[in-house]
């Protein structure tokens, strides 16, 4: 089973509503889609969205990494030697984690198809159905309150609320408004996207605790590099603190776990460089008694399906953030995960379960390798 051909496509899909965080505003979901074809006819799909403010990658840099480094390394290699291949993908190229992730998930798609298993079963098979939260973009308190009510009415009982923009008083008002509108039964988790200083984070979280706003967790309150600040926040509040941008690699995960700088870790395939490394991060966390969440960037159903297969396969992954396809104005993918309100069901077909990708319909086709 040799890797015969690797192709890439550029796609761009408008969002239904702008996605706003403390780091960026997105109106169009752009991605590089990767198609890997093996000499036995099996094809696998992967995806890499450019997220400059997090991974440092652009559409062009992702294509360049695949065209000039990953493809020459992988072509005509046997996929059955996948342990060596996945290690090689990480070692031949520094950074470029999304480019690596796209190749990684396409290879896992091929491997699990060869074994005639859905990917989540190939990886461990813990469960076939999970539940996602839905993200409330950072806007004015009243608009965020209205959005939160709309998402609850659509069947979501966990809201991931973006904060960290403007000042902490406005952030507190945002959460007070949302909690007042949705009631106490709805879980609210916050994502500051590095928007606070350690002191601001402690002050804001303590105030929300005093106001009994019942926040489940706060994700990445401080700058990604500030592990000492992250630990300071974790040590001085009762609310659970989750590391996101602070953890790309297993080595960074080990540092956060060793210092107990956070209570939880958010794993994203676009940060870890794919499923192979993501499994190592989860295993490190699990043996240390730390649960994980799996999240995503603004991705199509291809990337989300791969992440959901990984997340569903592991017992230690207890929280899920897979709402991105529901934000897109157009669907390019047949197959993959299925949504029914907050419930996300993994396909039973082998591999990712992607049946067809309409790269020529509503998408711009990019370079082919």
Q: Which residues are catalytic?
A: 162, 268
CA pseudo-torsion sign 298, 294, 48, 310: negative
Neighbours of 140 (CB within 10 A): 13
- Cα distance between residue 151 and residue 136, in whole Å: 8
- Cα distance between residue 128 and residue 345, in whole Å: 6
What radius of gyration, in Å, describes the C-alpha atoms of the chain? 20
Alpha-carbon torsion angle 101, 298, 135, 284, nearest 10 = 10
Length of the chain, in residues: 369
Could you tell me the two tokens for 66? 């695949």
Could you tell me the two tokens for 67? 């065209």
Q: Which residue spans within the chain are E strands per DSSP?
A: 3-20, 25-38, 43-48, 129-131, 134-136, 158-162, 187-191, 215-219, 240-243, 264-267, 292-294, 317-320, 333-335, 338-340, 343-345, 354-357
- Cα distance between residue 338 and residue 19, in whole Å: 22
CA distances from 193 to 224, 237, 331, 339 (A): 9, 18, 28, 26
Quick one: which of 82, 42, 55 has its CA closest to 279? Answer: 82
What is the DSSP secondary-structure string of 1-60? -BEEEEEEEEEEEEEEEEEE-SS-EEEEEEEEEEEEEETTS-EEEEEE---TTTT---HH
């Amino acid at each position: 089973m040799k890797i015969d051909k690797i192709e890439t496509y550029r796609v761009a899909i408008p969002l239904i509503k702008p996605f706003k965080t403390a780091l960026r505003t997105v109106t169009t979901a752009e991605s590089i889609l990767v198609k890997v074809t093996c000499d036995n006819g099996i094809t696998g799909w992967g995806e890499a969205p450019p997220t400059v403010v997090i991974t440092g990658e652009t559409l062009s840099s992702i294509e360049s990494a695949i065209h000039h480094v990953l493809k020459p390394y992988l072509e005509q290699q046997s996929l059955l030697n996948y342990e060596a291949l996945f290690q090689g993908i990480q070692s031949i190229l520094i950074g470029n984690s999304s480019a690596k992730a796209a190749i990684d998930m396409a290879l896992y798609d091929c491997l699990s198809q060869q074994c005639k298993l859905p990917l989540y079963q190939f990886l461990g098979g813990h469960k076939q159905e999970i539940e996602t939260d839905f993200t409330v973009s950072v806007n004015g308190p009243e608009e965020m309150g209205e959005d939160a009510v709309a998402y609850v009415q659509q069947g979501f009982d966990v809201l991931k609320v973006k904060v960290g923009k403007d000042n902490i008083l406005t952030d507190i008002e945002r959460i007070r408004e949302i909690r007042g509108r949705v009631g106490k039964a709805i879980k609210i988790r916050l994502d500051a996207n590095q928007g606070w200083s350690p002191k601001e984070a402690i002050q804001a979280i303590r105030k929300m605790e005093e106001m009994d706003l019942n926040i489940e967790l706060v994700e990445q309150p401080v700058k990604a590099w500030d592990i000492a600040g992250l630990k300071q926040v974790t040590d001085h509040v009762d609310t659970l603190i989750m590391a996101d941008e602070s953890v790309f690699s297993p080595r960074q995960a080990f540092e956060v776990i060793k210092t107990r700088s956070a209570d939880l870790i958010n794993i994203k395939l676009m940060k870890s460089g794919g499923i192979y490394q993501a499994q190592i991060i989860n295993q490190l966390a699990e043996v240390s008694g730390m649960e994980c969440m799996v999240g995503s960037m603004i991705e199509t159903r291809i990337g989300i399906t791969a992440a959901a297969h990984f997340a569903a396969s592991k017992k230690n992954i207890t929280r899920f953030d897979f709402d991105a396809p529901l934000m897109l104005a157009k669907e390019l993918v047949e197959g993959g995960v299925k949504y029914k309100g907050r419930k996300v069901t993994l396909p039973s077909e082998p591999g990712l379960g992607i049946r067809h990708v309409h790269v020529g319909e509503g998408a711009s086709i990019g370079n082919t390798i």
